[in-house]
Chains A and B, each alone.
Chain A
Amino acid sequence: MTIPNDLFYTENHEWISVDGKEAVVGITEHAQDELGDIVFVELPSVEEELDQFEEFGVIESVKAVSDVFMPVSGIVVEVNEELMDQPELINEDPYGSGWLIKVEVKDKSDLDELMDSSEYKEFIEGE
């Protein structure tokens, strides 16, 4: 199971990659594997402002419906439109072309609430 070193993780299995003020959000390889074949994605509108850990969308696999939550507070600046027709990209490349949204981070200190890769690894092993 891949858990990239340069990302931060939530207990709900989202990842966030931060570069300056901008960040990319997705779900982890572990999460997509647990869900199975992903067949539907619902994402927020651009410019929507969301709090940390607020629900921002829904991912559905054949069997399950799963909410996704904001790793940090911020404003949505882009959503991955490719996923509308190809939700399976999340299964195929969860840290790459299967990203969900890009956000403008409001307060970088939100990251203190998240796990780094080694903590997340421990977390999923303990689940």
Chain B
Amino acid sequence: MKKTAIYDEHLNLGAKIIDFGGWQMPVQYSSIIDEHKAVRNKAGLFDVSHMGEILVKGKDSLELVQKLITNDASEMDNGQVIYTPMCYEDGGIVDDLLVYRLKEDEFLLVVNASNTTKDFKWIKSNSELFKNVEVYNKTDYYSLIAIQGPISREIISEIVADDIENLKFYRFIETKINGFDAIVSRTGYTGELGFEIYLKSENGPKLWRKLIEIGADKGLVPAGLGARDTLRLEKALCLYGNDISEKTNPLEAGLSWTVKLDKKDFNGKKELVKVNKDGLNKKLVGFKMIDRGIPRHGYKIKMNGQEVGEVTSGSYSPTLDGNIGLAYIDIDKISIGKEVDICIRKREVKAKIVETPFV
């Protein structure tokens, strides 16, 4: 089981540790609900060093990236980030990731922890189609700390060498933070103003402690994977393994804005063009529970006694003080406001389809 460089800090802070994607990670420090609310109202600090970082460099790196992803990296500026799925030929999703353009011919792909090994192999094998490209797994090189919440900028501004006041959403700068070389990126998985900071792993614990030291009085709290999950769900952000997988394609996952079908060749293009033309069978939608009950991954969904879908993610929502979920539902059964029955254990519990994000 792997541990991040910041692991001991979590123990010192009294975190509960769980196994996540082969890593020993903090799931909560005080309470998921309190940490969730801190991120919405003030700020939370997350160690997400388990995320994988794969560096692609060389003259053909753009071409490789373009082949791998469904989104379009060709117009990216240096200092820009895009979110994208990466598909197999059959349109199933290998992973969803962030692409950072570090230089003209250098990209950093940030992937899900549990998929890092699989992704690295996949990217490596795709790279064999190109002459001038090298692929490196840099996961162990980086610590990745996310600071998320309305006061996150105010806190890190104190120790970032450059001005980040005008750093736009999905842009990053290479700068110094607390004296350490770092990538400071305006990205996150909570739907709040926030930043993700990549730095050499040995500096991770030092930056972690520094941020707690300068942020605690203002309301910054350490936040675990539990809050990370409820925060992303309220914003209807997909979680690989729950809402998207090798068996789902990005169009039915509601990610069509990240699929550029008019782009030159890319993995999965043929199949996705076909799906787009023929129409979807099912689609990922949000729903809110009307009756008492918490939806969970895998619960079946019925309408008039007939099975019409399955829950992919579900939880209590601390912001709404209600229960919410995401589900794939047969396309002809979907309309906003429609009632469905969620099969929770032996009961069928009423819910209704709603617009997302929930919050």
Contacts and interface: CB of A to CB of B under 8 A. Distances in A.
Interface stretch (B117-125, B146-154, B291-299): B291-299
B315 interface: yes
A116 interface: no
Contact size range, A: 10 to 19
Interface residues of B, number: 18
Interface in A58-80: 58, 60-63, 65
A58 B31 CA distance: 20
Given A36-B28, A37-B31, A37-B32, A62 B296 contact: no
Interface string B222-237: 0000100110000000
Interface in A24-67: 36-37, 39-40, 58, 60-63, 65
B226 A39 contact: no
B292 A84 contact: yes
Given A36-B16, A40-B316, A62 B32 contact: yes
A65 B226 contact: no
B31 A65 contact: no
A23 B226 CA distance: 35
A124 to B, nearest CB: 15
Contacts of B294: 39-40, 60, 65
Given A37-B32, A37-B33, A62 B226 contact: yes
The interface centre, meaning the residue of B28, B31, B292, B316 with most chain A CB atoms within 10 A of its CB, is B316
Contacts of B315: 62
B345 interface: yes
Nearest to B229: A63
25 contacts: A36-B16, A36-B28, A36-B31, A36-B32, A36-B226, A37-B31, A37-B32, A37-B33, A39-B33, A39-B294, A39-B316, A40-B293, A40-B294, A40-B316, A40-B323, A60-B294, A60-B316, A62-B32, A62-B33, A62-B230, A62-B315, A63-B32, A63-B226, A65-B294, A65-B296
Interface of B: 16, 27-28, 31-33, 226, 229-230, 292-294, 296, 315-316, 318, 323, 345
Pairs of residues from A and B, 10 with the lowest C-beta to C-beta distance, nearest first: A39-B316, A62-B32, A37-B33, A40-B294, A37-B31, A60-B294, A63-B226, A62-B316, A37-B32, A36-B32
